[in-house]
């Protein structure tokens, strides 16, 4: 960051490369924030990772923001860092709450996105297209109340306490884990059907 007031030079480079897909850019508290259209988000992030002069090789965080204003779109936030250039950039992808909350996964760019995107899916219900193993990470797999960090989600949950207690007691603690995480496969029969299919495919990709 050369100056607290000037936006990052990446903004001009992004505008030159992607034009109208860059919706807006702003500087807040010394950090540059760039809003990017959802359909081009993967292209933009791939370019930021690989293009000469950008080289954002480290994905610090993936999260989302749900604003109290129901008109305002939910935003998926990518915090990028270039370890070599010692530069930061924040990319925000607005998703209309009336439509499908779907965005391309960046797992193929940064492997560290795996659990970050799972957490964002768990808490906000954002579906990351192309993620190899998109399932809940903090709440258990059979959690049926919704997505806790949405503004529409009441603080104490949607169900009564008795129903929450009943569902929690009915859960099988072993069934929270994938086959990779279990050394024994005893809980396989209790896993949800879609997870069984995903695991049967063995589609977690190659470890590079």
Partner 1 sequence: MGLAEPTGADATELAAVSPNWLTTRLDFLVNWSRANSLWPMPFGTACCAIEFMATAAGRFDISRFGMERMSFSPRQADVLICAGRLPFKLAPIIRRIWDQMPQPKWAISMGACASTGGIFDTYAMVQGIDTIIPVDVYVPGCPPRPEGLMYGIMLLQKKIKGESIADDSLRQELLVDERGFFLPPQKIDEISEPFGNSVHQTRSA
Which positions touch partner 1 (CB under 8 A)? Answer: 139-140, 145, 148, 153-173, 176
Strands 31-36 and 87-95: parallel
Query: Minimum distance from CB of 33 to partner 1 (Å)?
Result: 30
**Min. distance of Cβ 46 from partner 1 in angstroms?**
36
In the complex with partner 1, the residue whose CB is nearer, 150 or 196, is 150
Report the run of H or E that residue 89 belongs to, with start and end.
Answer: strand 87-95
CB nearer to partner 1: give 47 or 143: 143
Measured distance CA(152)–CA(146) in Å, rounded = 10
Min separation Cβ 137 and partner 1, Å: 11
Q: Which is nearer to partner 1, 132 or 146 (CB)?
A: 146
**Shortest Å, Cβ 167 to partner 1:** 8
Question: Could you write out the DSSP letters of every residue in 11-61?
Answer: HHHHHHHHGGGEEEEEEETTEEEEEE-GGGHHHHHHHHHHSTTT---EEEE
85 versus 166: smaller Cβ distance to partner 1: 166
95 beta partners: 74
């Amino acid at each position: 960051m050369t100056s607290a007031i000037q936006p990052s030079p990446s903004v001009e480079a992004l505008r030159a490369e992607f034009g109208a897909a860059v919706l807006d850019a702003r500087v807040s508290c010394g950090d540059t924030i760039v809003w990017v259209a959802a359909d081009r988000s993967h292209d933009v992030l791939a370019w930021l990772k690989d293009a000469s002069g950008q080289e954002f090789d480290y994905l610090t965080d993936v999260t989302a923001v749900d604003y109290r204003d129901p008109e305002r779109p939910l935003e998926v936030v990518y915090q990028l860092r270039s370890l070599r250039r010692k530069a930061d950039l924040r990319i925000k992808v607005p998703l209309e709450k009336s439509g499908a909350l779907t965005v391309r996964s960046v797992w193929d760019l940064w492997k560290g996105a795996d659990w970050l995107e799972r957490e964002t899916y768990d808490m906000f219900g954002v579906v990351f297209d192309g993620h190899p193993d998109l399932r809940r990470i903090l709440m258990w797999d059979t959690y049926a109340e919704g997505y806790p960090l949405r503004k529409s989600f009441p603080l104490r949950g949607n169900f009564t306490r008795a129903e929450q207690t009943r569902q929690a007691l009915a859960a099988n603690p072993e069934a929270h884990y994938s086959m990779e995480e279990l050394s024994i496969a005893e809980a396989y029969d209790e896993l949800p059907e879609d997870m069984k299919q995903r695991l049967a495919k063995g589609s977690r990709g190659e470890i590079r």
